[in-house]
Structure 1
Amino acid sequence: MAQTCKDVYIVAATRTPIGKAPRGVFKDTRPDDLLVHAIANAMAQVPTLDPASINDAIVGCAFPEGEQGMNMARIAVLLAGLPNTVGGVTINRFCASGITAVSMAANAIAMGEAEVMIAAGAESMSMVPMSGNKPSFNNAIFQKDENLGIAYGMGMTAEKVAQQWGISRDAQDEFALNSHKKAIAAQQAGEFNDEITPFTVVKATPDLSTGEIKTSSKVVGLDEGPRADSSIEGLTKLRPVFAAKGSVTAGNSSQMSDGAGALILASEEAVKRYNLTPLAKWRGFAVRGVPPEIMGIGPKEAIPAVLKTAGLKTSDIDWFELNEAFAAQSLAVMKDLELDPAKVNPMGGAIALGHPLGATGAIRAATVVHALRRHNLKYGMVTMCIGTGMGAAGIFERV
């Protein structure tokens, strides 16, 4: 007999501000501390929930080593003060790690394996660099031409997408400028207030004359990346960084970043039992593969797949959080799927706000959940391309 899947609700969603890497506000802040902060404050949003009812915490991280190794999920659960009974597992699907964590948590509830789950993501690109501290490619990648795309740097895949989809340098720079403009406008209007939990950075400095340790603190409440002084003149002056005659620059690419986000998901029974207020309903997830050398086009395949699963059309989605890994790939996806630009990243994207890799899916999920309620919209989507050639997309419904 086929099992009927249960409805899954998001009952809490928050994130830290996003810091610039490697010299931003969180350069000395451990990613597990950012994760603890996100989890603890997600829990604070549901004071009637019994922490012992949480079955597991699934945490996405693109490079789970160093300061974000050792099964960061379980460590963060314990440091956040949750009961020993709450499990924790760290998962990796590169840039889609955070939204994959949400999907996996939702699946556990939908199948009746859990009642309450934590889904989160955390990444410090200040402490663990792109590709990790000790990258080591399988030699088989270099033995066949068809495998070389696996080893391409992300920038080169963006150049290939720009070439194949005819995305001009001017279009990329204009897209990047608009990302900053929208992000600054959203910050000034307080649009991020619902989703961000401010983080206090504490700095300890030794006083050699007295032998004392002096501490200072700074409350970080906004994303560090958006630039009010960004201009088309400044963007056009930047040189391509991945190909001598290319069009992809530091200015029209996502920023390296540090940050964390966390959501709490619950079954309908748990919502009633603990008197919780649902923020949104989870409607589905899809991941699809594409050639690694054009990995940026991944959402073009994942978006139609998840829409089919949810029984929806592109026009039904009111808010797209399309991760801006590069302007070139974002524009290519929008072009092929004929997405309404007004619905895509209304508050800016990763070019302005930053992209802390494995955390981004959870962070942008918090964005969508709160934006749908704030603007009285029905459906929102989080979607992104993924290294080695994939795309992922998840749908949320306001309730």
Structure 2
Amino acid sequence: MSKQTQDAYIVAAARTPVGKAPRGMFKNVRPDDMLVHVLQAVMQQCEGLDPAAIDDVIAGCAMPEAEQGINVARVALLLAGLPDNVPGMTINRFCASGLQAVALAADRIRLGEADVIIAAGTESMSMIPMMGNKVAMNPAMFIKDENVAIAYGMGITAEKVAQQWKVGREQQDEFAMTSHQRALKAIETGEFQQEIAPYPVEEKRPDLTSHEVKVIKSVKDTDEGPRADTNLEALAKLKSVFAANGSVTAGNSSQMSDGAGAVMVMSAAALQRFNLTPIGRFIGYTVAGVPPEIMGIGPIKAIPKVLKQVGLHQDDLDWIELNEAFAAQSLAVINELGLDRAKVNPLGGAIALGHPLGATGAIRVATLLHGLRRHHQRYGMVTMCVGSGMGAAGVFEAL
């Protein structure tokens, strides 16, 4: 028996500032604690909400093991003080995990199966290596040539995209510099203040003079990645990392990062019950597959697919958060689809702001919705390429 769908609304969206990995401001902060922090932040934004009414907490995580293992969603919600009747689920779609969590929450609400769900994401790239603590690839990947690309490092795929879409080194470096410039301007003008939930950090350091351990307390409220000293000359001096005579460098790639984000999703009935005002509406989401060896082009397939699904045109979008995994793939997507550069990452992207893998989708939803509202714009999109050859795209309306 089919069910009539209903709208899914976003009532609150918050994130931590993003720290640089592996030696940045969150190097000793556990990812489950970061998740606790953003869960509490969105709860605080929903005054009057009965915590027992939350139907689920869905958290994305790209490397769900060690400090972010054992179902980090359930662990974090309990540590956050939510009642034990609230269940939790951790999901993994690599870089799209946080956005996928939002989509899953919205789908359950649109089907009438839930009224209140927190969707989130968390990742510590300081504590959990890029491919996890134990890399154990299936040997079958290396038996047939068509499967070898599954094992490619992301940088190799970026080099292949740069070659196939003819994206040169100078273009990539210019794109990277623009990312930093936009991010620095956004920080200077307070663009991120609404979405960031300042994070208190305690560091313990030995004092060799007094023979005591001193506790140094600070509050982190600013993204750590953007660099004021970035310029084209400095970027041009960096050597290619992934291929001899290549064009992809550390300077035109996304930064390894630590961070978390959360979004409160509700039905219209829940809004009325708890007397809450939405900041946005979930419109649609899709995922598309592409060849693993050119995984960075995923959004080229996902963006038209989701726009057709929701009945919008590319020109209807006022703001596009395109995750800058690499400048090469970002430019390939922009050029292939003819995206308006002014609408893509107006506050900078992952090259400057960082990319904490499974948390990025939820973080960028927070940036998008607060930004749309602040600038009196209507429609926006969060989109990214995904490891092993996928692209994801979600469309939102600011209210």
* TM-score normalised over the length of structure 1: 0.99
Q: Secondary structure at the match of 2:384?
A: strand
Q: CA deviation at 1:49?
A: 0.8
CA distance in 2 between counterparts of 1:42 and 1:378 reads 22
Map of 1:34 onto structure 2:
34
* Cα distance in structure 2, aligned partners of 1:213 and 1:59: 35
Q: Secondary structure at the match of 2:23?
A: coil
* 2:6 corresponding residue in structure 1: 6
Separation in 2 of the partners of 1:383 and 1:201?
31
Question: C-alpha separation between the residues in 1 aligned to 2:107 and 2:100?
Answer: 10
Per-residue CA deviations over 1:160-211 (Å, capped at 9, x if unaligned) read 0000000010000000000000000000000000110110110123557766
Q: In structure 1, how many angstroms separate the alpha carbons of the residues matched to 2:246 and 2:348? A: 24
Correspondence for 2:234: 234
Q: Which residue of 1 aligns with 2:200?
A: 200
For 1:290-343, what per-residue CA distance to the aligned partner results, in whole angstroms no more than 9, with x for missing partners? 000000000000001110111100000100000000000000000111000000
Cα distance in 1, alignment partners of residues 204 and 172 from structure 2: 42
Distance in 2 (CA, whole Å) between partners of 1:263 and 1:111 is 19
Q: Who is 1:25 aligned against? A: 25
Q: Secondary structure at the match of 1:238?
A: coil
Which amino acid counterpart does residue 377 of structure 1 have in structure 2?
Q
Give the Cα separation in 1 of the matches to 2:205 and 2:245.
Answer: 46
What letter matches 1:307 in structure 2?
A: L
Q: Which residue of 1 aligns with 2:215?
A: 215
Aligned to 2:346: 346
Amino acid at match of 2:343: K
Q: How many Å separate the matches in 2 of 1:54 and 1:373?
A: 26
**1:256 paired residue number:** 256
CA distance in 1, matches of 2:209, 2:50: 50
Secondary structure, counterpart of 1:331 in structure 2: helix
**Residue equivalent to 2:370:** 370
Per-residue CA deviation, residues 34-90 of structure 1 (Å, 9 max, x unaligned), is 110011011000011111110100000000001000110001000110111111011
Q: Which residue of 2 aligns with 1:50?
A: 50
Sequence identity percentage: 64
> What's the offset of the Cα at 1:3?
1.5
Q: How is 1:185-196 mapped onto 2 (pairs within 5 angstroms)?
A: 185-196=185-196
Give the aligned residue type for 2:256: M
Task: Find the residue that maps to 1:342 and give its secondary structure.
Answer: coil
CA distance in 2, matches of 1:163, 1:155: 13
Equivalent in the alignment of 2:275: 275
Q: Unaligned regions of 5+ residues in structure 1, if any?
A: none
Q: Distance in 1 between matches of 2:184 and 2:128?
A: 28
Which residue of structure 2 aligns with residue 318 of structure 1? 318
Give aligned pairs, total: 399
- The corresponding residue for 2:144 is 144
- For residues 206 and 180 of structure 1, the distance between their equivalents in structure 2, rounded to whole angstroms, comes to 35
SS in 2 for 1:248: coil
Q: Which residue of 1 aligns with 2:99?
A: 99
Whole-Å separation in 2 of the counterparts to 1:208 and 1:5 = 64
Rounded Cα–Cα distance in structure 1 between residues aligned with 2:281 and 2:209: 58
Aligned counterparts of 1:290 and 1:386: Cα–Cα separation in 2: 10
Deviation digits for residues 230-263 of structure 1 (CA, Å, limit 9, x no counterpart):
0000000000000011000000000000000001
1:243 & 1:213 partners in 2: Cα distance? 46
Match of 2:78 in 1: 78
Q: Where does the alignment leave 5 or more consecutive residues of structure 2 unmatched?
A: none
Q: What CA distance in whole angstroms lies between the structure 1 residues aligned with 2:18 and 2:386?
A: 20
1-structure distance, mates of 2:346, 2:267: 30
Report the alpha carbon displacement of residue 213 of structure 1 after superposing the two structures with TM.
Answer: 3.8
Match of 1:162 in 2: 162
Partner amino acid for 2:44?
Answer: A
Name the residue aligned to 1:244: 244
SS in 2 for 1:370: helix
Q: Equivalent residue for 1:65?
A: 65
Aligned equivalent of 1:179: 179
Report the counterpart of residue 297 of structure 1 in structure 2: 297
How many Å separate the matches in 1 of 2:6 and 2:250?
Answer: 44
Partner in structure 1 of residue 16 of structure 2: 16
Residues 1:111 and 2:111 aligned together: yes
CA distance in 2, matches of 1:245, 1:212: 51
User: Normalising by structure 2, what TM-score?
Assistant: 0.99
Give the drift of 1:214: 2.5
Distance 1:271 1:212 in 2: 52
Alignment-derived partner of residue 388 in structure 1: 388
Q: Following the alignment from structure 1 to structure 2, what is the Cα–Cα distance between the partners of residues 70 and 3?
A: 34
